[in-house]
Amino acid sequence: MSTAATDPRRSVPRTDAVLADPRLEAAVAELGPRIVKELVVAALGRVRGAELPAGQVVPAVLEALPHNASGMVPVINATGVLLHTNLGRAALSDAAVASVVAASGTTDVEFDRATGTRARRGRGALAALAQAVPEAGGVHVVNNGAAALVLAATVLAAGREIVVSRGEMVEIGDGFRLPDLLASTGARLREVGTTNRTALADYVDAVGADTGLVLKVHPSNFVVRGFTASVPVADLAPVLRERGVPLVADLGSGLLRRHPLLPDEPDAATALRAGADLVTGSGDKLLGGPQAGLMLGGAELVERLRRHPLARALRVDKLTLAALEATLRGPVAPVVRALEVDADELRARAERIAQSVRDSGCEPAVVPVVVPSAGAVGAGGAPEQPLPSWAVQLPSRWARPLREGTPSVVGRVERGALLLDLRSVQPEQDAALIRALGSLVTASADSPPPAAR
């Protein structure tokens, strides 16, 4: 037989012929022709390389289809970290998700249906935020916590000084440092005190005619212990008020009111009562909503911030406003439920999951064990506040196949073992977690275990 007759390229079907296959019709309608065509071209390349039989092109494409058109894969967060930045921080409530879907079409986000004229953008979300923190005379929302600080610094201190304690010059993640962020607005930083101790006199001595604002930053992702001192808002506010200098308190975590399980985590209501002129925080942390920068303070100051041209560039879209309003008005957010869940309930869930895997007939080396664990708030919140939890323990070599499986499960490897910590897993995800573990057990019975990673 000639080489030409056995050349696999002779059996490669045309791209348009594969795309016309009825088995791909639903995928094209759901994901669009571009995504499906890219997968078809890739599969045909495998045929040309003699890696895939020509008759298996369509099944290969179907197997490679993404979960949605964005390619972003849903993940079960079993790390024990409630607000995992790499996994998107707070999971939205069902009410918030439904609100996002409802807002995905044309909406009355900036329209008064009664008069048929333009209305205040996002008035529902803003009203809900004001109702949640009545201590604030005015509220505004921008696209994240860093944006809130940038807007405040630009409006109040561009070309002037921002007075801030050296002990509060934090790095906010991924290499972004607070000094660089503030300097980008054209403000000059005037650091006071030392890394471990700052006194009221340090602020008083630094404040002058060129002071645009004094900034208090909650160093939420680290703790300094020992010979330390800092100045609370309640002590600093009256001194600055006498001098006409605004006090901005950046709380980071977005906690609106004090929570009994997080006694050391500052909240917006308390800071405003203590005299802060403006409080900033994030919407996708302890509030449990979408990514947003929350700004709460005096009515005149907030209106001044809202009317600045930069506010337009930092404004949030209708989907964020819908999710934020539903989070504020709706049921308890998943992150709050995870924070407040009783450890005994977590142990019972872990036992049920482990037993389901045992009942599936797993090999002895993969028998899951239920062990005590310690979760964390995450995203820079309550760094020294461990959350008692329980986890399903498996061999560490199963971390990668679980991450790459369907559904994707992300745990944490600790002391040579994989821990699936139930503190950060929503109860309604337990069934999917059991399915993922069952698939792993089935696969392990048919092939050798992968290398640990």
Contact of 52 with 46, CB cutoff 8 Å: yes
Question: CATH code at 240?
Answer: 3.40.640.10
For 317, the domain range is 94-331
Separation of alpha carbons 444 and 453, rounded Å: 16
pLDDT score recorded for residue 411: 97
Separation of alpha carbons 272 and 91, rounded Å: 28
User: How is 216-235 classified by DSSP, letter by letter?
Assistant: EE--TT----SS-B---HHH
Contact of 24 with 43, CB cutoff 8 Å: no
Pairing, β 408-410 against β 293-297: unpaired
User: How is 148-186 classified by DSSP, letter by letter?
Assistant: HHHHHHHHHHTTSEEEEEGGG--EEETTEEHHHHHHTTT
Q: What is the pLDDT of residues 372-421, one digit of tens each?
A: 999 999 887 777 788 999 999 999 999 999 999 888 999 999 999 999 99
Count of CA atoms in the C-beta half-sphere (13 A) of 420: 30
pLDDT score recorded for residue 226: 77
> Is residue 453 situated within a structural domain?
no
**Domain boundary pick from 299, 331, 363:** 331
Mean pLDDT for 140-156 is 96
Neighbouring CB atoms inside 10 A of 148's CB total 28
The model's confidence at residue 264, banded by pLDDT at 50, 70 and 90, is: confident
Same domain, 282 and 228: yes
pLDDT score recorded for residue 360: 74
pLDDT score recorded for residue 4: 47
pLDDT score recorded for residue 368: 87
Same domain, 228 and 343: no
Taking 90 as the threshold, does the pLDDT of residue 216 lie above it?
yes
pLDDT score recorded for residue 383: 73
% of the chain surpassing 70 pLDDT? 92
Separation of alpha carbons 283 and 252, rounded Å: 9
Collapsing DSSP to helix, strand or coil, 4 comes out as helix
Query: What is the overall mean pLDDT for the chain?
Result: 90
pLDDT score recorded for residue 168: 86
- Closest residue by Cα to residue 291 from 114, 85, 31, 5: 85
Collapsing DSSP to helix, strand or coil, 52 comes out as coil
> Is residue 4 situated within a structural domain?
no
Mean pLDDT for 166-170 is 87
Same domain, 261 and 402: no
Q: What is the pLDDT of residues 94-124, one digit of tens each?
A: 999 999 999 999 999 999 999 999 999 999 9
Q: Please state whether 45 falls in left (phi above 0), alpha (psi between -120 and 50) or beta.
A: alpha
Separation of alpha carbons 155 and 311, rounded Å: 10
Contact of 190 with 164, CB cutoff 8 Å: yes
- Closest residue by Cα to residue 245 from 171, 317, 164, 183: 164
> Is residue 8 situated within a structural domain?
no
Taking 60 as the threshold, does the pLDDT of residue 165 lie above it?
yes
Taking 60 as the threshold, does the pLDDT of residue 446 lie above it?
no
> Is residue 5 situated within a structural domain?
no
> Is residue 394 situated within a structural domain?
yes
- Closest residue by Cα to residue 64 from 39, 44, 45: 39
Mean pLDDT for 138-147 is 96
User: How is 332-348 classified by DSSP, letter by letter?
Assistant: PPHHHHHHH--HHHHHH
Same domain, 156 and 271: yes
Which residue, chain included where needed, has tokens 């330390």? Answer: 228
**How many domains does the chain fold into?**
3
pLDDT score recorded for residue 173: 67
Mean pLDDT for 245-264 is 92
| C-alpha angle 75-81-84 in degrees, rounded to nearest 5 | 60
Mean pLDDT for 317-338 is 97
> Is residue 301 situated within a structural domain?
yes
Q: Which residues contact 133 (CB under 8 A, 6 or more apart)?
A: 139, 256, 257, 268, 269, 272, 296
**Domain boundary pick from 307, 331, 355:** 331
User: How is 353-422 classified by DSSP, letter by letter?
Assistant: HHHHHHHTT--GGG--EEEEEEEB-BTTB-TT--EEEEEEEEEGGGHHHHHHSSSEEE-EEETTEEEEEG
Taking 80 as the threshold, does the pLDDT of residue 353 lie above it?
yes
Give the single-character DSSP code of 436.
H
Mean pLDDT for 227-253 is 93
Q: Which residues contact 147 (CB under 8 A, 6 or more apart)?
A: 293, 314
Same domain, 107 and 249: yes
Same domain, 220 and 80: no
**Domain boundary pick from 303, 331, 359:** 331
Same domain, 32 and 122: no
Taking 60 as the threshold, does the pLDDT of residue 7 lie above it?
no
Same domain, 363 and 302: no
> Is residue 290 situated within a structural domain?
yes
Same domain, 109 and 155: yes
pLDDT score recorded for residue 357: 86
The model's confidence at residue 440, banded by pLDDT at 50, 70 and 90, is: confident
Same domain, 137 and 187: yes
Mean pLDDT for 418-431 is 97
Q: What is the pLDDT of residues 44-77, one digit of tens each?
A: 999 998 889 988 999 999 988 887 878 788 999 9
Count of CA atoms in the C-beta half-sphere (13 A) of 381: 35
Collapsing DSSP to helix, strand or coil, 320 comes out as helix
Taking 70 as the threshold, does the pLDDT of residue 364 lie above it?
no
Same domain, 243 and 368: no
Q: Which residues contact 126 (CB under 8 A, 6 or more apart)?
A: 120, 139, 140, 141
Separation of alpha carbons 27 and 34, rounded Å: 11
Count of CA atoms in the C-beta half-sphere (13 A) of 91: 22
User: How is 248-272 classified by DSSP, letter by letter?
Assistant: EEEEES---S--TT-TTS--HHHHH
The model's confidence at residue 366, banded by pLDDT at 50, 70 and 90, is: low
Taking 80 as the threshold, does the pLDDT of residue 445 lie above it?
no
Same domain, 48 and 98: no
pLDDT score recorded for residue 443: 61
- Closest residue by Cα to residue 250 from 225, 224, 215: 215
Separation of alpha carbons 397 and 420, rounded Å: 13
Separation of alpha carbons 13 and 282, rounded Å: 52
pLDDT score recorded for residue 291: 96
pLDDT score recorded for residue 378: 87
The two tokens of residue 77 are 């967060």
Count of CA atoms in the C-beta half-sphere (13 A) of 144: 4
Does the pTM exceed 0.75?
yes
Mean pLDDT for 23-45 is 91
